[in-house]
Amino acid sequence: MPASSSPAVFTVDVDHCAGNVFLLHCHGRLVSGATHALSSAVTPLIPQTKRIVLDLADVQHTDSMGIGALVRLFVSAKASGCNLELMHLSKQIRNVLGITNLGTVFTVIGENGIKFM
């Protein structure tokens, strides 16, 4: 298998919504070596925020390190009384969350903030 010519690039755009809610638009591949961008965007928001929504519509792929980063952020948020929710999951991310039984741990919401079971 040929090596990739460019490193995995993952970026996060932060939008402050009404009240104490932040919407983070994630872009790229959430894989080993790229999880720091997510952690550095979310971690400072946790202490003062009640709700953080990660929009994963533009995330093409994740691996075990990406799932681990999501779990670490979820645990940190929960300990601080903050809700970390996921939105627009790709088929690959849904499959990984299902295989690891984490699909029942995370709150997955729709475009209008409607929560899925």
Residue 19 falls inside a structural domain? yes
Residues 35-55 pLDDT 10s: 999 999 999 999 889 999 999
- In sequence order, the β-bridge partners of residue 116 are 108
Residue 34 falls inside a structural domain? yes
Residue 86 falls inside a structural domain? yes
Residue 103 falls inside a structural domain? yes
Residue of 42, 51, 47 lying closest to 21 (CA atoms): 51
The confidence band for 111, taking pLDDT boundaries of 50, 70 and 90, is low
Q: How far apart are CA 105 and CA 74, in angstroms?
A: 9
Residue 108 falls inside a structural domain? yes
Domain of residue 112 covers 10-116
- In sequence order, the β-bridge partners of residue 33 are none
Residues 11-39 pLDDT 10s: 999 998 888 899 999 999 999 999 999 99
Q: How many domains does the chain have?
A: 1
Residue 2 falls inside a structural domain? no
pTM of the model: 0.86
Q: How far apart are CA 52 and CA 107, in angstroms?
A: 11
CATH classification at residue 65 = 3.30.750.24
